[in-house]
Structure 1
C-alpha cells in the first residue's frame, strides 16, 4: 500500500511550528546588541534562524523515530502520517533555505549560519542523547543571537545568556516522558535567576548604556521572564513528574520572548521588545493546539 501524503497539519506538528515564534527575537537581540551591523538586511537573520530551527525540529523527529515509537507513538513519524524520508528531506530543504537566506548577511553572517546549521545537525544526529546534549543545544541558540550580530563580539554576553537559559530548559526537558529530578529543576531555577540578573546588570554597565527609561523597561521584562519561567521550574522542583516537567519546558520556551525583550531594551530597542512580548499570548494559544516540545 502506498503511504498517504502528509497533510499540512502533519507537517506543522512535525516541526512544532508554534515554537518558531521564539526564534526571531534571538537574532534581533543579537543585532541590537551589536548596533545593527547588517542594517536593513537584519530582517534576513530571523528568517534564516527560523528555517534552521524548523529543520532541527524535523530532524529531531527523524532521529528519535524509534524511541518515539515506544514513548510517543502519536507523533507524526511513528503514527505513519509522515515517513522518515519525508522528515529528512524537509530538514535538508529547510537547512538549505536557511543558508541561502544567510548569504544576504555577508561573509561573516553566512559563516555563523553555517556553524549554526552544523550545530543543529550535530545535536539531532549525535549529541542529543549524550551528556553534552543540553550544551550543544545552548550553543545553537547562542549562535542564533550571533547570526543577528553577524558574528560581532559585542553580542557575546547576550548569546551567553540565551545559551544558558537554553541549557537549563533542555536539561529539564529530558524528563518530559519519565520525569526529572529536584536537582535538575532547582539548577534550572538558579540559571533563570542568574540570566535575569545578568541581563539587568548588563544594562547598568558598559560603554553603551541605555537611557534610564530603557533600563527600567529592561528590569520589567527581565522580572517578567524570571517570575514566569522560574515559577514553572519551582513547581517542577517540588513535583518533578513528567506532566509538571513538560509544563515547565513549554513555559521555558515561551519565556524566551520576555528575555529577548529585556535584551532588546538593554540595547536601547524597547519597542521591538514590546512587540515580542505582545506575541507571547499567541505562542501560548498555538501551543495548546500543537505541541512545542
Structure 2
C-alpha cells in the first residue's frame, strides 16, 4: 500500500529545494524530508482507501480489495501520518509549516475529490511543487529562489499524472505524446546554465565568474606621431603617421566549462532516457501495460530530474546523493509496483 519504490523519489524534493537556495542541507532540511515522507505515505494510504471500490473491480490484488488491510486501518494510517508530517514541519520552523499545511490539504483534496476531475493533474503537480518549496522554507526560511526549480518539477509531475489517468484502460496516445514533448522541453531547460535571482549566476556558486570588460592587449597598441611645427618659418612640416606593430595577438584559449556542467548534462540526459523511452512506447502502443510502464518510468525519472536541478544550482554533492537513490528505486520496483 505504501509503494516503497516511489518513496525514494521524495527526499530529493527537499534536497533540491535546499540546493536552489544555495544552502547546504541542515537539520531543518532533514525535518522537511521526514515531513515529506510522512505526507507522501499519508497520500498513498488515503488513495487506497478512497479507491477501494474501484480497485475491487480493476485491481483486486491491492491490499484493501484483497483483504490484507482493513479500510478503517488505511484511513487511520493516513490521518496519523498527516499529523506526524505536520508536526515535523512545525519543528523545522514556521515557514516550513506554512508550506506543509497547504501541501497536506492538497494531498487530501486530491485523493478525496480532485483525482477524477480535470483539476486532478494540476493538484498533484501543485503537491510536488509545494514539497520542493518545503525543503527551501525549512532550510532558509523563504522560498522565492526555489520557484524556478519547483516549477520544472511540477511540470514533470503534471505530465506523469496526466498519463496515469489511462493506466488501467489505455487507448489514448495523446497523453504520453504530450508527456514526451514535455520531457524534451524540461531536459532542454535543465541543461541550460542557471540565470536569474537565486540561481547560481547571481550567487557566486562554483562555476560562475563576475562579468568584466575585456582589457585591451598591448599587442594591438597603435601610436600616432603628432606633427611638430617646423623651426624654419618658410618650411611646412608634413604630418607623419607611425604604426607600431608589436607581436601578433595570441589565439584565445577555449573557455573551460563551468564546474558541474558535465554532471548536470549527464543527469538531464538520464532523466530524458528514464522518462522518454516508456513515454514513446506508450505513444506507439497505448495499451494498459505500456501505459503503466510509462507512469512508472515517469515516477522514477523524478530522481534524475531532482539531481539535475540540484547540479544546475551548483550543489554537485547533493545531486550525486539524490542520483544514488535511483538504483535503489529501480531495485525495489522489481518487487513492488511503483503505481
**Under a length normalisation based on structure 2, what TM-score does the superposition of the two structures give?**
0.80
In structure 2, stretches of 5+ residues that fail to align are 208-257
> What is the RMSD of the two structures over their aligned residues, measured on CA atoms?
1.5
The verdict on how the C-alpha distance between 1:283 and 1:37 changes in structure 2, with shifts beyond 3 A counting, is closer
Structure 2 CA distance, aligned partners of 1:257 and 1:216? 18
- 2:31 maps to 44
The alignment status of 1:242 with 2:288, answered yes or no, reads yes
In structure 1, stretches of 5+ residues that fail to align are 1-13
- The count of corresponding residues between Structure 1 and Structure 2 is 280
The alignment status of 1:287 with 2:333, answered yes or no, reads yes
Structure 2 CA distance, aligned partners of 1:241 and 1:210? 46
Deviation per residue, 1:171-211 (Å, 9 max, x gap): 10111110141111110001111111112225266423651
- 2:110 maps to 123
Structure 2 CA distance, aligned partners of 1:36 and 1:94? 28
The verdict on how the C-alpha distance between 1:57 and 1:77 changes in structure 2, with shifts beyond 3 A counting, is same
| Contact 2:6–2:329 under 8 Å retained in 1 | yes
| Contact 2:170–2:291 under 8 Å retained in 1 | yes
| Contact 2:195–2:202 under 8 Å retained in 1 | no
- Matched residue of 1:149: which SS? helix
Aligned residue among 273, 279, 292 for 1:233: 279
> Where does 1:1-293 land on structure 2 (aligned, <5 Å)?
14-36=1-23, 39-150=26-137, 151-203=142-194, 206-208=201-203, 210-211=206-207, 212-293=258-339
Structure 2 CA distance, aligned partners of 1:69 and 1:36? 46
**Under a length normalisation based on structure 1, what TM-score does the superposition of the two structures give?**
0.92
Structure 1 CA distance, aligned partners of 2:160 and 2:177? 11
Aligned-pair distance for 1:36?
Answer: 3.0
Structure 1 CA distance, aligned partners of 2:24 and 2:134? 11
Structure 2 CA distance, aligned partners of 1:103 and 1:186? 41
- 1:11 maps to none
